[in-house]
Amino acid sequence: MSIPDEKLMAYADGELDAVERAQVEAAIDADPSLARRVEKHRALRSKVSSAYASVLDEPVPERLLNAVRGAPAAARDDRVVATGRAPVARSRDRMGTRAASWSWPQWLAIAASVAVGVVVGRGVLTSPRPSIGTESGKLVAQAALDDALTNQLASEQSRSAPVQIGVSFRAKGGELCRTFSIRQADTLSGVACREASSWSVRVLARAEGAQTQPGNYQQAGSGMPAAVRAAVEAQIADEPLDAAAEMAAQKNGWK
Amino acid sequence: MGHALEAVQRQLVEILPRLRRFARTLTRNSHDADDLVQLAVERALSRLDQWRPDSRLDSWMFGIIRNAWIDETRAQKRRNRLFTVAEAGENVADAASEAHIQRLSVEAALAQLPEEQRMVVALVLVEGYAYKEAAAVLEVPIGTVTSRLARARETLEALLGGAEGGLP
């Protein structure tokens, strides 16, 4: 009697009822090759499950325990603030088309309840020449950050520069945006977009224990906190600017 | 209400290791897996009213993780174009032990499977769910679970088989 492989598989997985089980076992008695096939299914199962067994012994990261407790700062791997307008949570495949309808992954909207001060408290707002200030209720780049966003080219920047520029791109609303990292007490990363006369800081995140990123164009993107990466991904209209396009955009005043 | 929330939180802490393991089978690295779990926990807590206390919390959570992952992978293609995947090599450095090599090869093989097959493998082979339970989490008929699992096993066998317990 021939037994389809799906049934042998279900037998190996303990899925058959008593009647079917007896059927399969009778067939196995009559045909040793069936026993080998069942054994193969069991071996694969044990191989796959033992490959992941060690995950159960790993210590659970504190941030997950915090998430369960509903701790307010539990925003993925970094503390995130979506700044400026109230973030709009909606599905990613229904992106807004106007600048005013920047849409954010839902978790980013959750994270937005974190106070700005928690994230940017260490020097960025309080030093003699803060890099980020407020202008009619929005966060804008100032001083060294404003300078870097306006003048610094990712392809040519010095690795020791205090502000590192990552990816430059045109957003769905048409404006040009750039990702950046500021090295201070922590490394702060974010996305700033050019508005009429200033850079509006739209996302700001601190990577916990982040390494400072060297100024390589690619690495600057890959080293971004997840929040920044997600924001770029959600907002980018097309492809990031390459070195030539970045230079052209700079010459054109980021319009 | 407060008590109910506390009870759920206690249970969640208990199943966190399993949620992490499930997420690990879906993503390619532990960091993304933990992001996924965190997102799922936040979603779950924000919609606790949708959970029926007489049902299994782990199944509900697996379903939330699955949906969150589907949302993530929709955007994955673009992300891969945008950013180099620095994490790809993270497991390679320490591939010393036999067990570790084994694990890497299983992970690599799983990564070859279509998403929907990988989820069945994760629930049935790793998590030990019955076909019927897996079907409920994935919201598909049980026959679909069976056929996806059979196809997944065929692929995995081809990629991993032979080393031990395989047919000649």
Residues A67, A172: Cα–Cα separation, whole Å? 32
CA distance B2 to chain A (A): 12
A34: three-class secondary structure by DSSP: helix
B156 has pLDDT over 50: yes
Q: Where residue B80 falls among pLDDT bands split at 50, 70, 90?
A: low
Element counts in chain A: helices (H) and strands (E): 10, 9
Binary contact (B41, A64; C-beta < 8 A):
yes
Residue B119 reports pLDDT greater than 70:
yes
- What pLDDT, on the 0 to 100 scale, is given for residue A1? 60
Residue A186 to chain B, least CA–CA distance (Å): 20
Q: Is A90 on the interface with B (CB under 8 A)?
A: no
- The answer to whether the beta carbons of residues A165 and A237 sit under 8 Å apart is no
A224:B17 CB<8 A? no
Asked if A47 and B31 come within 8 Å (Cβ–Cβ), the reply is: no
Q: Does the pLDDT at position A11 exceed 80?
A: yes
For A134-162, the pLDDT digits (tens) are 776 677 888 889 999 999 998 888 888 88
In this predicted structure, the answer to whether residue A212 has a pLDDT above a threshold of 50 is no
| CB-CB under 8 Å, A48 with B106 | yes
Residue B135 to residue B130: CA distance in whole angstroms: 9
| Per-residue pLDDT reduced to its tens digit, A42-75 | 999 999 999 999 899 999 999 999 999 885 443 4
Contacts of A92 in chain B (CB under 8 A): 71, 74-75
Minimum Cα–Cα distance from B43: chain A residue:
A107
Least confident of A62-71, A86-95, A233-242, B143-152: A86-95
Residue B91's identity, in one-letter code, is: N
| Contact in structure between B32 and B20 (CB atoms under 8 Å) | no
- Asked whether the beta carbons of residue A93 and residue B74 sit closer than 8 angstroms, the reply is yes
Asked if B132 and B142 count as a contact pair (C-beta separation under 8 A), the reply is yes
Residue A207: pLDDT over 70? no
Q: Sort out which chain A residues have CB atoms less than 8 A from B107's CB and list them.
A: 51
- Residue A128's pLDDT is 57
Pick the residue of B24, B41, B43 with the most A CBs within 10 A to test the interface with A by mutation. B41
**pLDDT (0 to 100) of residue A157:** 85
What average pLDDT does range A190-213 have in this prediction?
73
Residue A74 to residue B38, Cβ atoms within 8 A: yes
The whole-number pLDDT of residue A169 equals 92
Distance CA A92, CA A235 (A): 9
The pTM assigned to this predicted structure is 0.54
